[in-house]
Amino acid sequence: MWRRAWPELSGRPGALLRRLILAGRNTLVHKDIEMSRARREAIAETGGALTGVFGSDHLRGLREDWPE
């Protein structure tokens, strides 16, 4: 597979290793960026979904039941 991608590196194992390391790094960076984008999108889509579900005194009730 690498021969098709980088034929100029045939016979240069050190250069090939560097290229493979960079390709792996770039793949990981791209995946990280994509995961962050998907996470932000999910937050934006679900933000406010529970607005109005709990009454205004709900938190006070929880605090009263919480042991000190």
Confidence at 67, pLDDT banded by 50, 70, 90: confident
Long-range contacts of residues 9-14, Cβ cutoff 8 Å, at least 24 apart: none
Q: Is the pLDDT of residue 68 over 80?
A: no
2 and 9 in contact (C-beta within 8 Å)? yes
pTM (2 d.p.): 0.59
Q: Is the pLDDT of residue 14 over 90?
A: yes
Q: What are phi and psi of 22, to 5 degrees?
A: -65, -40
For the chain, domain boundaries: 1-53
The pLDDT tens digits of the residues spanning 19-66 come to: 999 999 999 999 999 999 999 999 999 999 999 999 989 999 899 988
